[in-house]
Amino acid sequence: MTTTTTLAAVTPPSAPTPVVFVSLTPLQRRWVSAASEVYPNTTLFTMPMVREVCTRTGLNLPQWFVNDRRYREARGLYRLPRITDRVAVEATTATPAKPVEDGKPSGTMQPSVDPTFVSYGVYGDVERIVGSRRFHSMWINGLQGMGKSFLIEQACARHGREYVFVQFTSETSEDDLLGGYRLIDGNTVWVDGPILVAMKRGAVLNLDEADRATNRILGIQRALEGQPIFVKKTNTWVTPAEGFTVFATANTKGQGDETGKFVGTNVLNAAFLDRFYESVTHEYPPEAVEVEVLNRVAATYSLTDHATFVTALVRWANHTRKNFVIGTCTEVISTRRLIQAVRCYAMYGDRLKAVTRILNRFDDATVADFKAAYRLHDAEATEEAKRATELAKSLAQVPSDDQVKPDPEPTPAATASAAAPTVKPKRKYTRRKPKLGVTAPPAVPAAVPAAPTANPDPSKPAPVCPF
């Protein structure tokens, strides 16, 4: 029989649903211990390994283990739960969150593995933190469009961890993060904020755009150290569950932005920044990694003629980034922009059109410079542009007299047909009878042809008049 253990000490008085962890029965705990003895330091088990444990120990096949999706890592691959004092907590898989619980959203999600993701940079450290299920806070900063939040999400997907995402703005306050009283179905009830939800469920918390925060969020500082936090509105303490950890992603290090590119970022409180265990800078991926990312994106659209286009995009982007670093360029082409270019190419089938569409958000001078730089890296697109330009010029050019062919000479039959008068059909005329009392006008006599007065040809005798 399955029992439950409730953490009542961390639940506000007005919250009707406490945080619950599923415990194992004594027989289930016995099988987990036996599996750890047969295969020490092993967490992933195949079906033959499960049967081997049953054969050596004489225990029955653990249907609860092979049929529960919480322990299933892949088809025929299962992850062994880890036993604490009285509660069995999954090593990498948390209990799936319900979308709605007593009228209150749980606030967590279970990310899925994205086939286009390629690990690089600080992903290895992030995955190590997520997989350890130990608290460890990390601040990740870097330029836009390089996948800072995406790598945290994919690490959670790889290890089956619950994920809580919060995006900061200048209006984000302690009430938004810790929770407050809300009006639901005509009743005022307490609703946990995303930080309390992540603490109670032992989830991974991501504070996105953290450098946009203000002093209105300083009340969460203890949570950034993995310490119990006091909720003033309910007069209770909330202790984080096992597995709770915090990441913060931002475009700056919390010291403001001198370039003016990231509007809305602030200089954060030094005590707030000092709570994070470590701070790392994430860079744009290397050329080989970025080519692999774009190839995977193209594969999702079933593209087959994208190889040279992808290579040109990556080399062009690296060229603009180097110029941005040395200060000769004020803009940068991010990995996100390159992915959007591949998607535009899949839609329109035109390289230059796809590149132009992703550049149109810049000013006209920058667009012209970036397009010229792209043509240097894509010879095929340059040839297509030349052919299109030559065709447009030929259509717009006025033909000369030598290029204009004279009309063909008309044939005698065509001349005769053109000279022949057009005979119109005669209209039938019916003479109307005069109305009574109306005198008809006198008839006009027909004109008599005049007699010839002279002989037009003296060599011939003059005609004799018959009259």
pLDDT at position 433? 60
With 50 as the cut, is the pLDDT of residue 416 above it?
Answer: yes
The pLDDT of residue 463: 57
The predicted structure's pLDDT at residue 285: 94
H/E stretch holding 196: helix 194-201
The pLDDT of residue 425 is 63
**Residue reference for tokens 């042809």:** 449
Which of the given ranges, 20-29, 65-74, 282-291, has the highest pLDDT on average?
A: 282-291
pLDDT band at 10 (very low <50, low <70, confident <90, very high): very low
* Mean pLDDT (whole number) for 342-350: 93
Tokens of 201: 């469920």
Strand partners, 74: 77
Residue 255 phi/psi, 5-degree rounding, is -110, 15
What is the distance between the alpha carbons of residues 181 and 10, in angstroms, rounded to a whole number?
Answer: 17
Lowest model confidence (mean pLDDT) among 41-50, 73-82, 436-445:
436-445
pLDDT band at 126 (very low <50, low <70, confident <90, very high): very high
- Which of these ranges, 12-21, 188-197, 306-315, 448-457, has the smallest mean pLDDT? 12-21
Mean pLDDT over residues 95-99, rounded?
41
Q: Tell me how far apart the alpha carbons of residues 250 and 234 are, in angstroms, rounded to a whole number.
A: 31
Highest mean pLDDT pick, 59-73, 327-341, 417-431: 327-341
Rounded to a whole number of angstroms, the CA Rg of the chain reads 43
Q: Please tell me the predicted confidence (pLDDT) of residue 454.
A: 52
Task: Return phi, psi of residue 360, to 5°.
Answer: -65, -10
Give the pLDDT confidence score for residue 460 in this predicted structure: 58
Q: Is the pLDDT of residue 9 over 50?
A: no
Give the model's pLDDT for residue 388: 56
The more confidently predicted of residues 388 and 85 is 388
Predicted confidence band at 12 (pLDDT cuts at 50, 70, 90)? very low
188 or 73: which carries more pLDDT confidence? 188
Per-residue pLDDT averaged across 57-75, rounded? 81
What's the whole-model pTM score? Answer: 0.61
- Asked if 12 and 190 touch (Cβ cutoff 8 Å), the reply is yes
The residue among 186 and 430 whose pLDDT is bigger is 186
Percent of the chain's residues with pLDDT above 70 = 71
Question: Residue 78: what pLDDT?
Answer: 83
What SS3 state is found at 351?
helix
pLDDT (tens digit per residue) in 140-185: 999 999 999 999 999 999 999 999 999 999 999 999 999 999 988 8
The reported pLDDT for the residue numbered 186 is 85
- The β-bridge relationship of strands 104-105 and 100-101 is antiparallel
- Chain centre to alpha carbon of residue 394: 41
Residue 19 has pLDDT above 80, yes or no: no
Residues 13-42 have a mean pLDDT of 66
The alpha helices in 61-182, defined as continuous H runs, are: 63-66, 123-132, 148-159, 174-178
Q: In the chain, pLDDT over 90 holds for what percent of residues? A: 48
pLDDT digits (tens, 9 = 90+) for 204-245: 999 999 999 999 998 899 999 999 999 999 899 999 999 999
Residue 14 or residue 161, greater confidence:
161
Mean pLDDT along residues 4-24: 40
pLDDT value at position 149?
94
